[in-house]
Structure 1
C-alpha cells in the first residue's frame, strides 16, 4: 500500500505538470490519506503539485495526519532602532525553517493572554515550557506547559527556586501524555545542588538528595536539553554530559569526545542534539566544527561522523565572525545542521552530505534583533490531543 501511494503521488506530480491535476476527483480526506503515507521529505514536495495540494497539506485540520518535522525556531528579538537603551522593545518571534514566509506558528501565544506576559524557557516534542509572574508583591512565579498547535495548556505551580534555576521540559508523546518539569537548583557558585522534578501524572514536585554539589556540576543557562529513551541529557562544563532519568530522578555524568571549554557569554562551544534516533554531539573548535553520535548511550562510546572547517562552512563575509556562530539544531530526519551567525543574526543551514551552505535569512539586517544573546528553540508541531489535563 505504501509503495502504491508513493507511485501515485510521484505520478500525479509528473502528470499534473503536463495535463492538470488527475486527482481532482478525489475528496480531501482521500487525498490526505494518500499523502500521509509518504515520508516527510516527499510530503514537502507534494506542496508543489498544485494550489489545492499546498492548501490541503497546510490546513490545520489535515496537518495532524501528515508526518511532522522541524518547522522553525522560537526566539526573542528587540527593536534597536532607537539610540536610547530604555526605549528598546522586546518581542517573541518565530522564524520558519525555510527563512521565508509568514510564521507558521503564532509566536505571541495569544491563547495564554489571560496569564499575562509569559516567557518561553524550553521546548520538547511539540510542547513549550514557559513561566509567568502570578503575583507581583511579593513576586511569585509559576510555569505553564502548552501546545501551540492545539492551544491546550496547563499551569504547573512553581517552587521556591523557580525564579532562579535552569529549568527543562521532558515529554515523549510516544510513551505517555504526561510530562515532567525539571529544575536544576544551583548554589552561589553556580553548581547544581539538587534537581527537583514535577510530574504531571502525580501533580507534585519531588527530589532526591544525591550529593550533586560533591561533583560540582555546572550547566550553562543556554545549554540545550535532549530527551532520549526516558533520559534527559544536558551538556555541562568540564567536558561532561549529564544524564537524568526523569521518572526516577537518578542521574550520572558521562564523558564527551572533546575537551575544549565553553565559550563566553553563556553560549556553548559544544552541545547535544537528537537526530535520526541517535544522540548527536556538535563541537565548535578554534577552526572547525566536529560532529559525533552515540547510538547506544549505555556504551558511552562516541562515533565520529563529520568535520568541516569554518572556512569551508562560512562565506568570506562571515568568516571573521566564526567565533560568534551557534549551532541551533540538527534536523531530526536529515543530515542538516542549522546555525546562526551572530553577525546580523544570519540563519544558515549546512548539509553534511553535499557540504553545501544556504543562507536562509538575515534576521538582524533591519536592526530588529538584539545581537548580544538570543536563545533559539527548535519546534516540531504536535497535533494530537496529548496534553493531559490541559485547558
Structure 2
C-alpha cells in the first residue's frame, strides 16, 4: 500500500512518479517490462495504488515479485506530502486560470495568491469579514470570497447568478401593475438637495475616471431607484437594494469590465429586473430621468448629498434583521472599499465635464428593442415580447403570473 494524496500517476522504469513533481516511489522491477501499456487503479478509501505493467515477454515469471514493496511513509511524512501536493495543485490551478485572462488584467493584479478588491484594487484585509465567510452566513453579497476569483471569473459567476435569478412571472406582474402601485410611485416628484458635510482629502490618490465614473453610475441608479420606490422613506431594506442593484458592490465586479457607460447602465437595468420587488422597464426609464434631473444642476453637491444619505441608509440596515453583526461587517467593508474612495473622487477629482458626461449618458438612454435585447443577454429574456404581452394583459384585465 502506498500512502499518497495525488493519484494521477504514471509508471516509469523503474520508478513510480507523480506527474509534474519531483516526488517518486522507488520500486525496482526484477525483469524488463513494456512501457507502452501502463494501467493503474487508486482506492480512495484505502489510499492504495495498484499498477499493472505489461511484461516484455508474455508468460515470463517475475521471481520474487510478490515480495517487492515500495517505501512506506510515516503519518507525519504523509501529512507533509499531502500538504505539499495541495499547495502544488492550488498553484497550478491559479496558473491555468491566469493563462486564460487578458495580460493587461493580470499585470494590474497582485502577485500573491489573493486577488484585489474595491475601487482602488486593494487586498481585502478584514479578519472580521473572513471569519464571517467561514460561517457561511454572509448577507447581501452574491460573491462572498472575491480573493479567490480573478475579475474575469467574478464576471462570469455574476452573469450566471443573474440568469438563475430571472423570474418571468414577477417581471410580468410588475409590468402589468394591476393595482397601479408602481404607477403611483412613478408619478411622485422630488426635490434634489445639495447639502452635505465636507469631505477632507486623503493622502492616497482617488481612483481614476475609468473606474470611478462607471461605479458612480451604478450607485446613483441604485440610490434613485430606492428613493423613488420607497417614496423617499428609507427602510432597513434600503441598503440591501443598493447593494443588489450594483454589480460592483454585490459581486465585486470591476467597474471597467463594461465597454462604455451604456453597458454599465445595462447591467443596472438587468439587476433591476431580477432583484427588487418592483421590476419593470418603466421603472428603469423613470430612474434614468431622475438621474438626468439630479445631474442637471450642482451635480457635485447633489451627488455628495446622495452619498451622505447612503451612509444613513447603511446605518439603518442592521436594525430588526436578526443579523446585526453580520450586516454591519458586510456594509462597513463595502463602504470602506467602494463608497469612501468614490466620495473622495467626486469631492476632489471629478471635473464638471465628467459629471456632465454622466448626465448626457443617462439622458440618452432609450429603451429600444436593441437595448432590451442587450439587457436580456445572456439568458435570452425576450423583454420586448414580454412587454407586449403585459400591455395586452393590462388592456384586457386578464393575467396573473405570480
TM-score range, shorter chain: under 0.3
Normalised TM-score (structure 2): 0.21
More strand by share: 1
When Rg is computed on C-alpha atoms for both structures, the one with the higher figure is 2
Normalised TM-score (structure 1): 0.21
More helix by share: 2
- Structure showing greater relative contact order (alpha-carbon pairs closer than 8 Å, 6 or more residues apart): 2
